[in-house]
Copies of this chain bind each other. A is one copy, B any other.
């Protein structure tokens, strides 16, 4: 998938630590039914042999809903699963190396927390940037200060590629990140850790669409 065809309206990251140990396939199915437009599969606890099985389920679910499927950390697994993209962080393979492994047709995205790293990731071929952590999260200790909406806006201004905002995004903070120019929200525990992931996704998606409608109306005025 090309990044031009990517719908960033609601990018849901599934992670065992955030979903309270529920099955990835179950929370992802609900998130997709609620309106998720992209699914990132993040797993730090299972073997890659197991990830190959679970990833195939998620890949199929995403395809059924017309959503993008992204694999975290592992370009090799992304290739094996026919993923639309692979996402890497500062401890993973750098984006230019990932590009050589996965070829030209898979999206490569990179997590950054400052404008300099965002520019470097873009220069090394990242198709989009994940800015994180924007706000504090409860489920994952980052050990870093959060950038806030203003830090996010700086990252957005520093690159030409889309910037997804990740970390502590909820009903209160969503308008701020959209006003900051983020392509969309990346949410983890707020959806996959919700009691009702379908309803949580539905509410996020509704807020994003409402914001877009106001933007369009504003541009028309």
Contacts and interface: CB of A to CB of B under 8 A. Distances in A.
Which has the most chain B C-beta neighbours within 10 Å: A52, A80, A94, A98? Answer: A80
A18 interface: no
A166 to B, nearest CB: 20
A79 B100 CA distance: 9
Task: Give how many copies assemble into the complex.
Answer: 2
Interface residues of A, number: 21
Contacts of A97: 52, 80
A41 to B, nearest CB: 15
Contact of A76 (B76, B90, B91): B76
A6 interface: no
Contacts of A90: 49
Interface string A95-117: 00110110000000000000000
Contacts of A52: 93-94, 97
A97 B80 CA distance: 6
Contact of A49 (B48, B79, B80, B93): B93
A192 to B, nearest CB: 24
A74 to B, nearest CB: 6
Contacts of A73: 48
A52 B90 CA distance: 13
A44 to B, nearest CB: 12
A195 interface: no
29 contacts: A47-B91, A47-B92, A48-B73, A48-B91, A48-B92, A48-B93, A49-B90, A49-B91, A49-B92, A49-B93, A49-B94, A50-B91, A52-B93, A52-B94, A52-B97, A74-B74, A74-B76, A75-B76, A76-B76, A76-B79, A76-B93, A76-B98, A76-B101, A77-B93, A79-B100, A80-B93, A80-B97, A80-B100, A80-B101
What are the 3 closest A-B residue pairs judged by CB atoms, nearest first?
A47-B91, A76-B76, A75-B76
